[in-house]
Structure 1
Amino acid sequence: MTQFVWIVILGLCVAALVVRLSDLRVKRDNHAVRWFSAGMALLVLSMVLQITAVHLAVDRHTALGFAGMVSNCLTVGALVSARCAFQHLLHPPGTARGRARSQLHLAGAVCAVIVLLFWTTGSNYAEFLAKSGTADAVPVMAAHSYVYVCYVIPVTIVITREALACARGVDRFTARISLRLLAVSGVLGTAYSVLRLAAMLADRFGLPAGPLNGQLIGVLFRTAIVTVVLAVVLPAVGRHLGIDRFARWLGLDHTYRALFPLWRALHEQFPDIALETPARHVPFDAPERALYRRVIEIWDGLLRLRPYLVGGTGAAEVAAALRALRRGEPPPGGGASIASTGDDVARLVELSKAYHAITAAE
């Protein structure tokens, strides 16, 4: 059952890779998209090597545990690709290239150490395979495994922070959710790595590692992978299904309705500020226009109310001015009375004629 679930997840990863590569065709000059595509490809290869039939076949032709070691190196490559992508999202091109180069050098050194330790030190991989799936299951104990886990923990923490930092500056709904999903996958990856390290240390010091090495560690890893897949696919799917457009409409409609109490109070006193019968919600095909119209109508109402707003235009001043107007009180301090629409039109006509006369004489 576990292998079936793993193969299904692998299929989802391949689909996500196809989506990412199609996005790369459109955004060839986008370095972040390039790095995310490379990371997804490396992750797919890493997962292929974790299929039981595949890693047994690879180990049979190389050395016991070789497929797992290569899978770890590919995962390191996927993580550093994500880090490089975030450098290009967060920093100017020159700075991003320098930071990405440093991350690549570090990841290369980690992979070199992993390979060196694999060939020069021993492991309990044979015992791990023999006891896998039993009550006596043990974690993989090898020097290169410690290096791998100790690299993954800080990197996933940093990826989580960088993803959240990027999400704060993104306006597009699906892109923002995608980055937050990557942050969630980073948290899950950190939890998986910490749990794996704890299981290894417990086994090393003769403590019971069973609770730490149970199903939870596999669930964390698989959930992290699925979250990455969702993060990769969501922007493309959202673009085709109109999710971004709907989310934008929802946000503008919320703002439109939030302005309603102030608009209604002004409209009751100055009905002619509304050129059209107001709708309950902004139209889906032109929400910006409706919101802009409501803002203009509110400013128009406040402009009409200006003779009463001697103390400012805060909420308390506007409320007091409207109360005074409803009671029929004159403007404070003997100020000018409120102009009607006809008065405004007459004044603007005079202004337009005077402006035309001045510009015609130039």
Structure 2
Amino acid sequence: MKIVVDAMCAEYGGIRTYVEHLLARWHDVHPEDELHVIVPRGLDLPTVGHVRHELRVRRPRMIGRPLAQTVHLKRLAGEVGADAVIATAPTTTVRRPGAPMAVVILDLRHELRPEQFSRKTKLLRRISYGRTYRLADQFLSISQRSLDDLHELHPQLRGVPATVTHLGADHVADWPAADGDGPAITFAHHTNKNPDLVLDGWKVLADRLGSAPDLLVLGVGSGREELTAAIEQRGLGGSVRLAPFLPEDEFQRVLVAARMIVFPSDFEGFGLPVVEGMLLGRPVVIGPERATNEIAGGHAYVMADWKPESLADAVVAAGRQTPEQREAARAHAAEFTWTRTVEQTRAALLAISR
């Protein structure tokens, strides 16, 4: 197959992780395919084994990026005789690209949690996503939860072919080995990760046990001062630390050494740390949230509700995980491979290709 991949939005975060691993595994399992990947000029995203096309993005980026996508996606699809196009985010060309287009759906948090986004971001997404939805010949959703959200919020799209293509987690096999004697790990890079709830739960643990387990908070970013004050206010300075910015290799070392993954996010499109943690043999705590429960498949420790006491209960239960439970969770997580993601994606493209 000849496929054009629009990776113009894969600059950071979950979408970058998705695109990077998808492209790498695609080259391994289907080297006969010809993938043409468009990226912003200067982006360090690896496109190993594929044809790379760097596009200049004029300022302001909110106008320059969709303009570049609109002009070059159609031109490139025509020049290479593309069988299909993958838009790795619903922010892409505003006109038909000249080949059937599959659109990746990560999540619809901007519609379901609008208070977590700026007015400008919500406006831009409403316009760009709405146009892309009308152009899509296929949807590739990273979870059933995200696909259900799409159909509930936009029922007119139920007639468009759609496939759930879960992400892979087997990239952790390339991470350094560790014995899991480090602190518990949680995340704070978005408000939906609920760092305040985690701290409240840790305070409950400290009151119950006399001292709380060691906890390392990742993804602190600009919230460091506020989180430091929150830690001190709860008297958790002896057990909770805020990590500095970690380059990828150090992030991997920290995660594989974690004693436990505490991930009570109230909104996810997938929840990659859940399957990463289980595949590494670590107990994982999650909240009563649809995507993470879908991905965990009954092998995580689920909070009964969104109260700090319930988080503390789940952490205690996770600390009692048996070897049999750990191996069952690991076996479940092992089903999430990037090879499966590639094969499901390729099958969906074949179904719509010209």
- With the length of structure 2 as denominator, give the TM-score of the two structures: 0.27
**Which structure dedicates a bigger proportion of its chain to helix?**
1
Q: Which has the larger radius of gyration?
A: 1
- With the length of structure 1 as denominator, give the TM-score of the two structures: 0.26
* Structure possessing the higher relative contact order (Cα contacts under 8 Å, 6 or more residues apart): 2
